[in-house]
Amino acid sequence: MPKFLIWIAALAALIALPHGLSFSQQEILVFLTINVLLVASYRLLTLTGEWSLGHVVIMGVGAYSSALLTKKLGVYVPVSMLLGGVFAALIAVLLSFPLFRMKGFYFLIGSFAAGEIIRLLWKRFRDPFGGAKGIKGIDPMPDFSVGFYQFDFFEPTSYYYFAGVVVAVCLWILWRIEKSPVGLTFHAVHWQDKLAQASGVNVRAYRTLAFAIASGFAGISGALLAHYVGTINPNAFDIDLMVFVLTWAIVGGTATFYGPILGCVVLTVINEVVLRELGLEQMRPLIYGAIMILSILFLPNGLESIVQKFTQRRASNGAPERSPAE
Amino acid sequence: MISKIVKSGLTRRTFLHSTAAAAMSAGLPGTSLAAGSTIKIGFLAPLTGAVAAWGKPGLDGCEIWAERVNAAGGIKLGDGSHNVEFVAYDNEYDPAKARTGATKLIREDGVSFIMMLGGDTWPGVQPVADKTGMLFSTLLPSDLSPDTNTLIAPAEVHPIYNVTGVEWLAENRPELKTAVMCAQDDALGLPSVATYLAAFEAAGIEMLDAPLLFDPATTDFAPVVTRLISKNPDIVCLDTCYSDYVHPIAEQLFQQGFKGQIISCTADFYDQMIAKTSEEFMEGFVFQFPDFDDPALNGDNINFTDPNGFYAEFNKRHPGQWGAVSWEYASIMDLWKAAAEKAGSASPDAVAAAMKEGKGKHAFGDADWWGTELFGIDNALVGDWPVVAIEGGKATIKEFRSIPDWYAKHGDLLVKHMQAYDQMWDQRS
Amino acid sequence: MLDLLAQTGLNAVYAASYISLVAVGLVLIFGVMGVINFAHGELFMAGAYAIVALYAGLNVPFFLAVAAGLLFVGCLGLLMERALFRPLKDNPLGGLVASIGFLMILQALAVMGFGVRMVHIPPVTQEVIAFSEKVRLPVARLYVIIAAIVLLSALWYFLKRTKFGWALRASAQDPEAAALQGISITQTARIAMFIGAGLAGIAGALTAPLVSVNPHMGHSVIVTAFIVIIVGGVGSLEGAIVASVAYALVHTFVTTFWDGVLADIVGLSLMLLVLIVKPTGLFGSADRA
């Protein structure tokens, strides 16, 4: 089956990828992998039609929880990462009570305010959050060997493989959720709010569920980041990063599962690799901004629309993707 | 595919021999320099974004430093003279990007030494420093802890030097008895608050109010100033406020009718502050950063090379941009150059060893490697620091004062206040 | 104590003035265009840099420079309308991303033109109206207060009493019905963008001598403006003004009597509280969100 072969080839390419890169590009690859999970989890939330500006702070909740669990309670790192995700999901459930009284633009700004309050609390309570300086010296993932490969988690390649597996599993779960009846209900909540409600769907409960799941995976991505960099602080989860996540998702397009991921990969490569190598220094934000504007003007349905055109022409008899009606 | 894009040409001064450097082994940075080759120094600081003001002017200063050193024959090591060149990486004040930048500078560019602003970004770099043994410098000694063996704080000993200004003030203006203070609530503001509190207590000056903290995003300072002067203090202390705060605060103090003494850590662009207030109002303003055309800097005790010429050149190229960071990175390079020439090598280990042998050549005079009590490690270069006052519209060095002498008398106060603000090295999580 | 209260009151009036100028512009753009203009803080910044270039750089008289700043930033608004928001009018999220791209460009241009550090603007006037030893209103701040009152009154008159204003409000409420009535949507969009951006520009221009002008000064302004328009109710000009005054009062008094960090937390918490009690803001109606 050719589809099967494509997956194998993609897997092989992903495994081989770091060996074709320079050291600093390997580092960028690690952060890119983590951000892929972040932006993919963000898409699940947007399925219900709500756009949050608090997603990066929720990622930070996962990072702080996991870091504190290992530092204060000595929890084993992979376990704490998982718990970080659980904690982020719980905080999201709590936040959903005030936030889901709002919709649209109000939700957007409401989620921003909620996130800012969390960030101010991290700054205010130096014990245990470390104040503005945050937490440093976070335990790294303990090294281990699987016989044929020695994992040394200082090395970006090792951490890339580890994070890659975690992210792949998470993406698979996110994908399964989206294709399940629950995921289809998320779509219904977005597109036919009133109808869904009339047919007995508890819209609020489904919104909360999507918010919690998305936040849980964002929390895991935060924990992955914390245990690699070894330090976190409130400024690392500020609106600037949130703006990047938002633009990755929109420039990539949110009609398909891979759209936001594509946006994240392409924009990160442009900003962190291409523009840096061009030695543009202070011009970098300008060109990045211009690229964002051009892409949204000339690809209003996102980068994914290029891929769609390509694949649909190739497999004209295949089932068409959901049309990007946004 | 990515590496293909990268290798497609597009070389610039900041992008050097990626293929040759990539072939170099991972853990041994810059140990073997070809004779006559250029020594590369990494500059890893924010160059874009809101914190860029702490990086970019420093890089400008370093470019001038490099030209002057190269024109004078470069750095003389055991195997002859080498020119020096700076390789910059914009870390955007983000720990993850700082880690990426450190990796690039060490493993791809083959630098011999890396200068950082420090702060939020240092903990991200620390694992890289530990693994590679690269020598790093920071402007913020609060980055130091017992396990930061390859990190030095050789220029700025912020915030401890602030005690000299308070001590000088207490001796020369003994009639001033009461003070208030405001500070931004961040990693630079809080240790400084603790330092000033200790200094005021040591000088017998009474604090009328707890220090007023404001958010770093504040733009309108009228409410802050109204509160500060509501109890009629003799002294208003601006802590280590950035110039973006110092200026509007001073302007508001002027307009709300304050007539007392002001003391601050910095007063970058003080000429603009005088323009916004008046010469009489700013007369006697005490701070800690001299202009480098000050005649007192031509003394034999000063280790900074040709401060007056450097100042003139900087002002020629970047008019009106002179500030504390303009010279600090360059002064670290003076120290590094002296150590490298003494060691006859640019390798991080040799330079670090030569640097820490005996007295350190700090910009403001020979100083001691110090800091175990405050930072857990003796990697801060602490000695004399100038007390500067504005006189007749011009910053004037009043005196060089010894920080260790103050600490010997009042160290317990500093530790007490640092602990109250959770700023001791063993309290920082 | 009375002096302290009076001075704090004056501080609050000034804060309310510049915040409401920015917030009303943001509301107007959102009401008519249906996009969230993330670049609004940078329009404020552009107004301040107009003063840097004209007043501080070329010695143009201050009020002439302010007028030029208003025109310049208004034209930036027109540029955004034509180049970004019109092509993206069916794509509000696209408009959001485009405005983010635009703000990055404006910031980078400011950095390249004037450096990363704060730039100097000589004071316009150092005169102070002293009500008592401790109650003082600098005249430069009075200008901002007067400008806010005059401009916002003029805007109110324009919207409620003129034909243009009527068209503008009609297309804000229901663009399709307005189009059927023969109102040119493009024309109203242009007017709204010019006025909205111009208000941010004049706020930036007038406050430029009073604050630290640097390329990133727009950030804290936009955050405050967002809080204000949410509390007031998105799309409500009256709401934006009332909320500006309320926010300025709370923030100024909490800063003066407790501290500045707490003031931010209180401001944000109050906003969340308003949203929980009335999810469309004080003056908002459900159908606009």
In chain C, which residue's Cα lies nearest the Cα of A120?
C265
Q: Let me know if residue C183 belongs to a domain.
A: yes
Tell me the backbone φ, ψ of residue A260, rounded to 5 degrees.
-60, -35
Which pLDDT band, with edges at 50, 70 and 90, does A185 fall under? confident
From CA C235, how far away is CA C24, in angstroms rounded?
9
Distances (CA, A) of B354 to B60, B79, B347, B357: 27, 17, 11, 5
The answer, for B244 touching chain C at a CB cutoff of 8 Å, is yes
Residue numbers in B near C128 (CB within 8 A): 255, 257
Q: Let me know if residue C251 belongs to a domain.
A: no
Q: Let me know if residue C71 belongs to a domain.
A: yes
Record the tokens describing residue C124, joined without a space.
């316009």
Is A24's CB within 8 Å of B100's CB? yes
More confident residue, B136 or A103: B136
Tell me the backbone φ, ψ of residue A151, rounded to 5 degrees.
-85, 115
Is C257's CB within 8 Å of B227's CB? yes
Give the closest-approach CA distance of C272 to chain A in angstroms: 7
- Return the C-alpha torsion angle A93, A99, A105, A110, nearest 10: -100
pTM score > 0.90 for this model? no
Give the closest-approach CA distance of B58 to chain A in angstroms: 15
Is A297's CB within 8 Å of C261's CB? no
Residue numbers in B near A275 (CB within 8 A): none
Q: How confident is the model over C212-252, as pLDDT tens digits?
A: 999 999 988 988 998 898 888 877 888 999 999 999 999 99
Q: How confident is the model over B206-264, as pLDDT tens digits?
A: 999 999 989 888 889 999 999 999 999 999 999 998 888 999 999 999 999 999 999 99
From CA C236, how far away is CA B189, in angstroms rounded?
39
Tell me the backbone φ, ψ of residue B369, rounded to 5 degrees.
-80, 125
Predicted confidence at residue B351, as pLDDT, reads 94
Q: Let me know if residue C275 belongs to a domain.
A: no
pLDDT average, residue stretch C156-175:
83
Candidates C38, C36, C85, C44; CA nearest to C189 is C85
Predicted confidence at residue C268, as pLDDT, reads 87
Query: Could you say which residues from 179 to 198 on chain B have a Cβ atom under 8 Å away from some Cβ of chain A?
Result: 185-187, 190
Give the whole-number percent of chain A exceeding pLDDT 70.
93
From CA A256, how far away is CA A252, in angstroms rounded?
9
pLDDT average, residue stretch A13-20:
90
From CA B106, how far away is CA C203, in angstroms rounded?
47
Written as one string, the DSSP assignment of B240-263 is T--HHHHHHHHHHHHHTT--SEEE
Does pLDDT of A319 surpass 50?
A: no
Give the closest-approach CA distance of A25 to chain B in angstroms: 8
Strand-pair category, A231-232 with A135-136: antiparallel
From CA C208, how far away is CA C48, in angstroms rounded?
5
In this complex, the chains that touch A, judged by 3 or more CB pairs closer than 8 A, are: B, C
Beta strands in A71-133 (DSSP E): none
Give the whole-number percent of chain C exceeding pLDDT 70.
98
Residue numbers in B near C111 (CB within 8 A): 48, 52
Is A120's CB within 8 Å of C100's CB? no
- Across chain C, mean pLDDT equals 90
Q: Which amino acid, one-letter code, is at A153?
A: F
Predicted confidence at residue A37, as pLDDT, reads 97
Does pLDDT of B422 surpass 80?
A: yes
Placement of tokens 């034209």 in the chain:
C75
pLDDT average, residue stretch B402-419:
94
Which pLDDT band, with edges at 50, 70 and 90, does B397 fall under? very high
Is C212's CB within 8 Å of B323's CB? no
Predicted confidence at residue B427, as pLDDT, reads 78
Burial of B372 (0-12, 13-18, 19+ CB in 10 A): middle
Among the listed ranges A148-152, A319-323, C211-215, which one has the minimum average pLDDT value? A319-323
B154 within 8 A of B137, measured Cβ to Cβ:
yes
Distances (CA, A) of A311 to A6, A97, A256, A267, C151: 13, 42, 13, 22, 55
More confident residue, A220 or A180: A220
From CA B277, how far away is CA B30, in angstroms rounded?
51
Answer positive or negative: Cα dihedral of C165, C168, C174, C178. positive
pLDDT average, residue stretch B327-334:
94
Angle at A289 between CA A286 and CA A294, to 5 degrees: 125
Looking at residue C213, the DSSP 8-state letter turns out to be B
Predicted confidence at residue B65, as pLDDT, reads 96
Is A229's CB within 8 Å of B96's CB? yes
Is B422's CB within 8 Å of A126's CB? yes
Which pLDDT band, with edges at 50, 70 and 90, does A92 fall under? very high
Candidates B237, B269, B247; CA nearest to B162 is B237
Predicted confidence at residue C285, as pLDDT, reads 64
Residue numbers in C near A284 (CB within 8 A): 108
Please, which residues have CB within 8 angstroms of residue B32's CB and are 6 or more apart in sequence?
none
Q: Let me know if residue C245 belongs to a domain.
A: no
From CA A282, how far away is CA A267, in angstroms rounded?
18
Q: What is the largest CA-CA distance in chain C?
A: 61
Give the closest-approach CA distance of B222 to chain C in angstroms: 6
B113 within 8 A of B351, measured Cβ to Cβ:
yes
Give the closest-approach CA distance of A31 to chain C in angstroms: 22
Other Cβ atoms less than 10 A from the Cβ of C59: the count is 10
Does pLDDT of A326 surpass 80?
A: no
The answer, yes or no, to whether the previous bond of A128 is cis (omega within 30 of 0) is yes
Looking at residue B358, the DSSP 8-state letter turns out to be S
Residue numbers in C near A51 (CB within 8 A): 93
pLDDT average, residue stretch C84-89:
90
* Pick among A235, A237, A243 to test the B interface (most B CBs inside 10 A): A235
B422 within 8 A of B428, measured Cβ to Cβ:
yes
From CA C252, how far away is CA C125, in angstroms rounded?
24
pLDDT average, residue stretch C2-23:
94
Q: Let me know if residue C231 belongs to a domain.
A: no
Predicted confidence at residue C35, as pLDDT, reads 85
Is B215's CB within 8 Å of C264's CB? yes
B160 within 8 A of B382, measured Cβ to Cβ:
yes
Range of the domain at C63: 18-216
Q: How confident is the model over A192-231, as pLDDT tens digits?
A: 666 767 777 778 888 899 999 999 999 999 999 999 999 9
Say whether B42 sits in a helix, a strand or coil: strand
Record the tokens describing residue C201, joined without a space.
């520009």
Predicted confidence at residue A123, as pLDDT, reads 86
Angle at B110 between CA B109 and CA B116, to 5 degrees: 80
Query: Could you say which residues from 234 to 293 on chain B have a Cβ atom under 8 Å away from some Cβ of chain A?
Result: none
Candidates A90, A87, A78; CA nearest to A228 is A78
More confident residue, A105 or B147: B147
More confident residue, B26 or C135: C135
Q: Which amino acid, one-letter code, is at B81?
A: S
Candidates A52, A113, A128, A84; CA nearest to A222 is A84
Predicted confidence at residue A121, as pLDDT, reads 87
Placement of tokens 């910031």 in the chain:
C107
Q: How confident is the model over A222-278, as pLDDT tens digits?
A: 999 999 999 999 989 988 899 899 989 988 988 899 999 999 999 999 988 888 888
Predicted confidence at residue A309, as pLDDT, reads 84
Domains annotated on chain B, with CATH: 2-158+308-382 (3.40.50.2300), 162-287+385-427 (3.40.50.2300)
From CA A49, how far away is CA A190, in angstroms rounded?
5
Is C102's CB within 8 Å of A101's CB? no
Strand-pair category, B206-207 with B75-77: unpaired
Which pLDDT band, with edges at 50, 70 and 90, does B14 fall under? very low
Does pLDDT of B28 surpass 50?
A: no
Task: Considering only the beta carbons, identify the residue of A120, A282, A293 that sits closest to C84.
Answer: A293
* Pick among B117, B219, B229 to test the C interface (most C CBs inside 10 A): B219
Predicted confidence at residue C39, as pLDDT, reads 95
Strand-pair category, B206-207 with B178-184: parallel
Does pLDDT of B319 surpass 70?
A: yes
Which pLDDT band, with edges at 50, 70 and 90, does B19 fall under? very low
C151 within 8 A of C23, measured Cβ to Cβ:
no
CA atoms within 13 A on the CB side of C36: 23
Is A240's CB within 8 Å of B49's CB? yes
pLDDT average, residue stretch C98-106:
94
Is A23's CB within 8 Å of B107's CB? yes
From CA C123, how far away is CA B276, in angstroms rounded?
5
Record the tokens describing residue A255, joined without a space.
């009609």
Does pLDDT of C2 surpass 50?
A: yes
Q: Let me know if residue C289 belongs to a domain.
A: no
Other Cβ atoms less than 10 A from the Cβ of B373: the count is 15
Which residues lie across from C136 on neighbouring strands?
C130
Residue numbers in A near B15 (CB within 8 A): 277, 279
Give the closest-approach CA distance of A108 to chain C in angstroms: 10
Record the tokens describing residue B132, joined without a space.
């590679």
Please, which residues have CB within 8 angstroms of residue C24's CB and are 6 or more apart in sequence?
C152, C155, C196, C199, C237, C240, C241
Predicted confidence at residue B324, as pLDDT, reads 84
Among the listed ranges B91-100, C161-170, C200-209, which one has the minimum average pLDDT value? C161-170
Is C134's CB within 8 Å of B269's CB? no
Does pLDDT of A59 surpass 80?
A: yes
Distances (CA, A) of A290 to A271, A296, C168: 12, 10, 30
Q: How confident is the model over B128-187, as pLDDT tens digits?
A: 999 999 999 999 888 899 989 999 999 888 889 999 999 999 999 999 999 999 999 888
Other Cβ atoms less than 10 A from the Cβ of B306: the count is 15
In chain B, which residue's Cα lies nearest the Cα of C264?
B215
Does pLDDT of B85 surpass 50?
A: yes
Helix residue ranges, H only, B264-320: 270-276, 279-282, 307-317
Placement of tokens 């690039």 in the chain:
B104
Is B104's CB within 8 Å of A22's CB? yes
Q: How many domains does chain C have?
A: 1
Q: Which amino acid, one-letter code, is at B91?
A: N
pLDDT average, residue stretch B114-121:
92
In chain B, which residue's Cα lies nearest the Cα of A21?
B3
Predicted confidence at residue B35, as pLDDT, reads 64
In chain C, which residue's Cα lies nearest the Cα of A245?
C97
In this complex, the chains that touch C, judged by 3 or more CB pairs closer than 8 A, are: A, B
In chain C, which residue's Cα lies nearest the Cα of A286?
C105
Does pLDDT of B27 surpass 50?
A: no
Residue numbers in B near C51 (CB within 8 A): none
pLDDT average, residue stretch C91-119:
90
Burial of A185 (0-12, 13-18, 19+ CB in 10 A): buried
Placement of tokens 């009846």 in the chain:
A181
Predicted confidence at residue B32, as pLDDT, reads 55
Among the listed ranges A121-130, B370-379, C78-87, which one has the minimum average pLDDT value? A121-130
From CA C201, how far away is CA C68, in angstroms rounded?
10
Which pLDDT band, with edges at 50, 70 and 90, does A95 fall under? very high
The answer, for B46 touching chain C at a CB cutoff of 8 Å, is no
Q: Which amino acid, one-letter code, is at B369?
A: W
The answer, yes or no, to whether the previous bond of B159 is cis (omega within 30 of 0) is yes
Q: Let me know if residue C210 belongs to a domain.
A: yes
Looking at residue B31, the DSSP 8-state letter turns out to be -
Is A113's CB within 8 Å of C227's CB? yes
Is B223's CB within 8 Å of C223's CB? no
Placement of tokens 């204003």 in the chain:
C165
Q: How confident is the model over B157-170, as pLDDT tens digits?
A: 888 999 999 999 99
Q: What is the largest CA-CA distance in chain B?
A: 71
Give the closest-approach CA distance of C260 to chain B in angstroms: 4
Q: Which helix (H) or strand (E) holds A66?
A: helix A55-73
Task: Considering only the beta carbons, identify the residue of C120, C130, C216 that sits closest to B275.
Answer: C120
In this prediction the ipTM stands at 0.91
Which residues lie across from B400 on neighbouring strands?
B386
Of A232-236, B198-202, C263-267, where does the model show the most confidence?
B198-202
Query: Could you say which residues from 218 to 247 on chain A have a Cβ atom under 8 Å away from some Cβ of chain C?
Result: 239, 243, 246-247
Residue numbers in B near A71 (CB within 8 A): 429
Is C219's CB within 8 Å of B230's CB? no
Predicted confidence at residue A150, as pLDDT, reads 85
